[in-house]
Amino acid sequence: MHVVIAGGGVAGSSLALHLASGGAKVELYDRMKSYGKACGDALTIRPGIERLVEETGSYRGEVSRYTVKVEGREVAHVDLGRRNWVIIDKRRLVDGLRSMAEAEGAKIHYRPWRGEKGEVTVDARGPYAWHLKGSVMVYRIIARTRWDRDHALLDFRVASKGFYWIFPADPEGRTVNIGGGFEEHPKLGEVKASVFRYARQILDSFEVLDERGAPVTVKGPILLHDGEAYRVGEAAGLVISTAGEGNRPALMSAEALAGAILSRWPNGVLGEYKRRISGLIAEVKASRMLLSFVESRPREGARVMASLPPDFWRDYFQSRVTISRLALLGLKSPRLLGVLPRVLLASRS
């Protein structure tokens, strides 16, 4: 079968690789010869994902310890005792996936997609598939400084509807990826200034090695087919909005869609695709509900976040938060149980 993929980021390139290795005739369009979009470069580990990181040689470091702050105040520290996120060289990952897809026979056109169609067409244009609707501008700096090599910090700013992060950017703790994104700062210049202010506040001294911004879709609906094309990754709305996590969902949805196309085409692809990512969809839905709750009641949201039990944060950093997991945690934490109905209600309003 002939498959056309619009966009060769994380989702599009890995989809091209899976489909081409499965025997499909694949044409991929990307407007950039080499991937260069800004990212925090963190990727939650799952078995198939680790293999792609190894095969593309994109491993940069790993994270097992996390500090959570709310409005600058430390509220939790989580030590998972083993690597949980890998830090990747994302350009290397995506460019590597593209080369591997080409080696399997995929054809890559380095120019914008102009509506070309195949027997199967897939939109993998990330935030651009939504014309940036529902997206937040995010800015990140790669800086030389001193930082624990396995430690990540998230600082939620509920009033500004966003968060800052600091992740290690190399295996020795010599560089960090520090960034942030806030719905209340829609302009790139504003978010850039606030990230620089934060860096000066938190790091003793630092030297900027690279800086750039990009949009991330945190509020798009989940859409697996738009009537013309299947959708994967951020183009399908698959971002864990409370964490801005889109890399793992992009890889997972690409693998699922490839499996569905190769096993079911021409009938039943959509149902099979949905079935294969039902767990991921549950995660995305839970993140949208939590976000709506916190944003609709910022004061209460900040209080609730500051008093969440450590088990919630363990789930959060392992990307396991779903409404049923929250209900289970609620049995141990009356405070969480008390807000759950309102979390569900907030998402309906």
Ramachandran sector of residue 87 (left: φ over 0; alpha: ψ -120 to 50; beta: rest): beta
Q: Could you tell me the smallest distance in angstroms from the CB atom of residue 123 to ligand FAD? A: 9
Tell me if 7 contacts ligand FAD by CB under 6 A.
yes
Tell me if 220 contacts ligand FAD by CB under 6 A.
no
Tell me if 173 contacts ligand FAD by CB under 6 A.
no
In the bound state with ligand FAD, the residue whose beta carbon lies nearer, of 215 and 330, is 215
Tell me if 17 contacts ligand FAD by CB under 6 A.
no
Reported residue count of the chain is 349
Q: Could you tell me the smallest distance in angstroms from the CB atom of residue 297 to ligand FAD? A: 26
Cis amide leading into 266 (omega within 30)? yes
Tell me if 12 contacts ligand FAD by CB under 6 A.
yes
Q: Which of 61, 168, 179, 237 binds ligand FAD (CB under 6 A)?
A: 179
In the bound state with ligand FAD, the residue whose beta carbon lies nearer, of 28 and 339, is 28
Q: Which of 16, 17, 20, 39 binds ligand FAD (CB under 6 A)?
A: 39
Q: Could you tell me the smallest distance in angstroms from the CB atom of residue 122 to ligand FAD? A: 11
Q: Which residues contact 275 (CB under 8 A, 6 or more apart)?
A: none
In the bound state with ligand FAD, the residue whose beta carbon lies nearer, of 240 and 302, is 240
Tell me if 195 contacts ligand FAD by CB under 6 A.
no
In the bound state with ligand FAD, the residue whose beta carbon lies nearer, of 40 and 96, is 40
Question: 271-280: long-range contacts (C-beta < 8 A, 24 or more apart)?
Answer: 273/224, 273/230, 274/224, 277/238, 277/252, 277/253, 279/322, 280/238, 280/249, 280/252, 280/253, 280/256
Q: Which of 63, 154, 216, 261 binds ligand FAD (CB under 6 A)?
A: 216
Return the closest-CA partner of residue 223 out of 134, 102, 106, 103: 134
Q: Could you tell me the smallest distance in angstroms from the CB atom of residue 245 to ligand FAD? A: 4
Tell me if 245 contacts ligand FAD by CB under 6 A.
yes
Q: List the x/- string, 131-170, binding to ligand FAD by CB under 6 A.
A: -------x-x------------------------------
Size of the site for ligand FAD (CB under 6 A): 41
Question: 76-84: long-range contacts (C-beta < 8 A, 24 or more apart)?
Answer: 76/308, 76/310, 76/313, 78/310, 78/313, 78/314, 78/317, 80/314, 80/317, 80/318, 83/45, 83/150, 84/44, 84/45, 84/317, 84/318
Largest Cα span, the chain: 59
Tell me if 180 contacts ligand FAD by CB under 6 A.
no
Q: Which stretch binds ligand FAD (CB under 6 A): 9-17, 18-26, 51-59, 155-163?
A: 9-17
Query: 98 to 127, contacts with ligand FAD by CB under 6 A?
Result: 112-113, 124-127
Return the closest-CA partner of residue 1 out of 248, 277, 236, 230: 230
By CB under 6 A, name the binding residues for ligand FAD. Answer: 6-12, 29-32, 35, 37-43, 112-113, 124-128, 138, 140, 179, 214, 216, 233-235, 239, 244-248, 250
